[in-house]
Structures are given as structure tokens and as C-alpha cells.
Amino acid sequence: MIAALLLAAQVAVIQPAVITVRGQNGEAKIAVAEKLSGPAIRLSALSSVVPVAIDSLGGGRYRIMLAGIEFFVADQAPFMEVGDRVVPLATAPFIDGGDLFLPLQVLTEQLPRAASDRLSYNVAKAELLVLTAPVAGPTAALAVPSRSRPASPPAPSAKRTTRHTGKRRVVVDAGHGGPDNGMSGPLRGGSFRVYEKHITLAVSKRLAAILRSRGVDVVMTRTTDTLIALSDRGRIANQRNGDVFVSIHVNAANQRWPRPEAARGFETYFLAEAKTEDARRVERMENESVRFETEVTAARDDPLSFIMNDMAQNEHLRESSELASMIQASLGAMHPGPNRGVKQAGFRVLVTAFMPAVLVEIGFGTNIDEARFLTQPQRQHEIAVAVAEATMSYLEHYERRVGLAGR
């Protein structure tokens, strides 16, 4: 009981109802919005004291200049990009009433840590001190993108060595296969049964066809109902010098949820440490496929190999998060289910793909309505189009960013 009270007291200090912001333009008391996800700050409320500029980049992504510090966030994505780092957040930024809200953690922890010469936060006083305030220009009006608007958000620059010339190359991975059915559902559907491996293959084939029609070279990890080892999927992508890796999956509800059969929606993951219990659940579920793999061996990595692999994965972390945000935004324009956001987890299928890599959960096969949606050829085509458009937008923007357009 004492420990619980101490923890509650610490939380009360860390999460005040109001923070004081002091800058060259004076002082302001900024209310902390208590949301279900956690405490948040309406970003535009800071503009009277701190130079703030907000640029909507489309697809739910935003470039922010606050007290001369540049960083990037995305609606419903629990991370921020500052400098050359992708920083996980406890909760996600969000749009409410046309305003962009940031988790309180961004102002009290992440930005002061990234730019201690410009911002300092006093926990005891709940006070944010702006040490310097470079001119950032007028505060930009925040335009919230329409759900029907195609995703084409620019992002901060990130260098990536192109490993081949000629056509763009996308590796499309249909999740599960062979003896591994993956998800089976719905939970309450009578004689109506679906298996993840069939849906992922159907959508992946359509995605591959659409990308090829747009001049992209496509590599599929499987084209039939066969089992491909999780670690081999990334190796295939590396051997074929893919530009991006997109793995298609179907989600399943946690049986311990109050009404698991009602779970719906779509979400996109990139490779990083899982930050929520639900992300860890999906990670465990998708990684379970390894039990179907036989006669698969892998040499133990020596320390140098481990370091090199880790560097190769981290090189593309920011790009993976950008691709995930774009796919999520594109699906949001056509998918009837709720947008469950961009998340992060350590999927084995992504670990060995040394390129921008994402795993897309296109819906819950355990929900009868969503299972029917996912098995309709027209809907599978629409999902494939949404993923293809986002992937093309990412590739085009990446090439413009690093000067490879027209290669």
C-alpha cells in the first residue's frame, strides 16, 4: 500500500494539471489535457510564449519548430523524430478539434533531453524554461488532412545507400502459409471460417500486380500455400536487394478481452521494442510461426556480426516509421474499421530485413464483419491499392529527398 501511494505521488508530480512556460515573450500557464491515453498539451497554446511553427506534411505527419528545435510527429503514432533519432513515446500525438496535441512527455522529457541548451524542465515546479528563443517564423495554420486524401508526407532527411540501380524493388511478404494457418476466425461465425494464410496471399498477389503495373520490380517471399521460415523472409529481401519490405498479416483478438469478437481495425508496425502490452501480444502471435519451421539452422552471431546487424537495422528505423505512417494513413481513407495507429514491435520477420520494413495488420479475422470484408475480392483489391499508393509515395519522396529521382 505504501509503495502504491509513493508511486501515485510520483505520478502526480510528473503529470501536473498545469505547467508554467517561461520564455523571452513572457510567461503562460498551459493546461494539461487529461486524456485516456495520458496527459497531453495543445501545441498551439504555447505560441504566445514560445516560437512555434506547425507544418502539415500530409498523411497525418507534421513538422514542428519549437524554440528553434525541429522535430516530426504523426497522428496516432507513438514516437517522434528529432535530429537523427526515432524516439519512442509513452502515448501518441493526436488531433482533437483541429488542434495538434503532444504527449506531455515531449515537453518535459524528450525535447529538454535533445536540446538542453534551449529547453529546461523543472519537475518540482512543473516549469518549462525556454533558454533561447530563435525566430521560427509565424505559427503555421494546422490543416488536418482528409481521410480521403492520398498519403504523400515528406519527412526529415535520412541517408540510405542504394544497393542497386534501375527499377524500384519492393519485397512483398504474405504472412504464414503451409502448415501455419496463422489466425483462424471468426470467433462467432457459425460455419463461416477464414484462415490468415489465404487472405494474406490473396492481398499480397494483388499488391504485387498493382506495383508491377506501376513499373516496380516486385519480389514475393511466397506465391503459393507454402511455409517460409520467418528469418528467411528477411534474408530473401536482402539477397534480392529490396528497397522496402512489406509484410501482410491479419490480426486476431485477445481471447481475454471483454468482447474479443468485437475487436476491429487496422494497424501498421515497424521494427522496434514493443511499447504496449497489446503490441507485445501481436508480436508473440506473429512470432509463433517459428514452431512450424523444421531443419532451419542459423549460425550464432559473433559480437562484431551483432553490432553490424544492429547498425544495419537502426539505419532504416526512421524510414520504416515513415513508411508505416504513410501506409496507415492510406488505409485510413478506405478501411471501415477503426484506425489503431502506427505501433512498434520486434517481429522476427522484420529483424533480418536490412531496409525500411513494415508489418501491416489489415484487419481482425476474428470479427465476423471484418472477416467477410477481408475475404471479398473487391475489398482485397482496395486494400492492396491503398498499400501500393503509400509505398509508391514513400519511394518517390525518398528518391526526391536523396536526389535519386529518375534513376
Cell numbers of 308, please? Answer: 553490424
CA distance 290 to 366: 22
**Antiparallel, parallel or unpaired: β 127-130 and 18-23:** parallel
Instruction: State the fold for domain 2-130.
Output: Copper Amine Oxidase; Chain A, domain 1 (3.30.457)
Contact criterion met (CB below 8 Å) for 148 and 333: yes
Cell numbers at 87, concatenated: 524516439
Domain ranges for the chain: 2-130, 169-402
Which residues are bridge partners to 102 per DSSP?
A: 41
Q: CA-to-CA distance for 368 and 382, rounded, in angstroms? A: 19
Domains 2-130 and 169-402 in one fold: no
Report the distance separating Cα 50 and Cα 65, nearest Å. 10
How confident is the model at residue 210, as a pLDDT? 94
Spatial CA neighbour of 389 closest among 167, 160, 152 = 152
C-beta separation of 108 from 140 below 8 A: no
User: pLDDT tens string for the chain (407 positions)?
Assistant: 343 333 333 444 456 889 999 877 788 899 998 877 789 999 999 888 888 999 988 777 889 998 889 999 888 887 788 887 777 777 888 988 889 999 999 999 889 888 888 888 988 888 999 886 444 444 334 443 333 333 333 333 333 333 444 689 999 999 999 999 999 999 987 788 999 999 999 999 999 999 999 999 999 999 999 998 877 888 888 888 899 999 999 999 988 889 999 999 999 998 754 445 665 565 565 545 444 443 333 344 455 444 445 544 555 777 888 899 999 999 999 999 999 999 886 666 566 677 888 999 999 999 999 999 999 999 999 999 999 999 999 999 888 876 655 44
Instruction: Determine the pLDDT at residue 346.
Output: 66
Find the helix or strand (DSSP H, E) in which 254 lies. Answer: none
Tell me the C-alpha distance between 37 and 91, whole Å: 6
User: Quick one: how far is CA 242 from the chain centroid?
Assistant: 20
Q: What is the pLDDT of residue 155?
A: 35
C-alpha distances (whole Å) from 298 to each of 224, 229, 295, 352 are 25, 11, 10, 12
98 dihedral zone (left: phi>0; alpha: psi -120 to 50; beta): left
Contact predicate 230/349, CB 8 Å: yes
Amino acid at 251: N
Q: Any idea what DSSP says for residue 53?
A: E
Is the CA virtual torsion 95, 100, 105, 109 positive or negative?
Answer: positive
What is the C-alpha separation between 42 and 39, in angstroms, rounded? 10
CB atoms within 10 A of CB 48: 15
CB-based burial, 125-148: b 16+ in 10 Å, e otherwise: ebbbebeebeebeebbeeebbeee
Rg, Å, the chain Cα set: 22
CB atoms within 10 A of CB 173: 27
pLDDT score for 20 = 92
48 Cβ partners below 8 Å, 6+ apart?
Answer: 25, 26, 28
| Residue whose grid cell is 470479427 | 367
CA 283 to CA 266: how far, in whole Å? 15
Whole-angstrom distance, CA of residue 251 vs CA of residue 193: 15
Strand 184-185 relative to strand 194-195, pairing:
antiparallel
**In terms of CATH architecture, what is 169-402?**
3-Layer(aba) Sandwich (3.40)
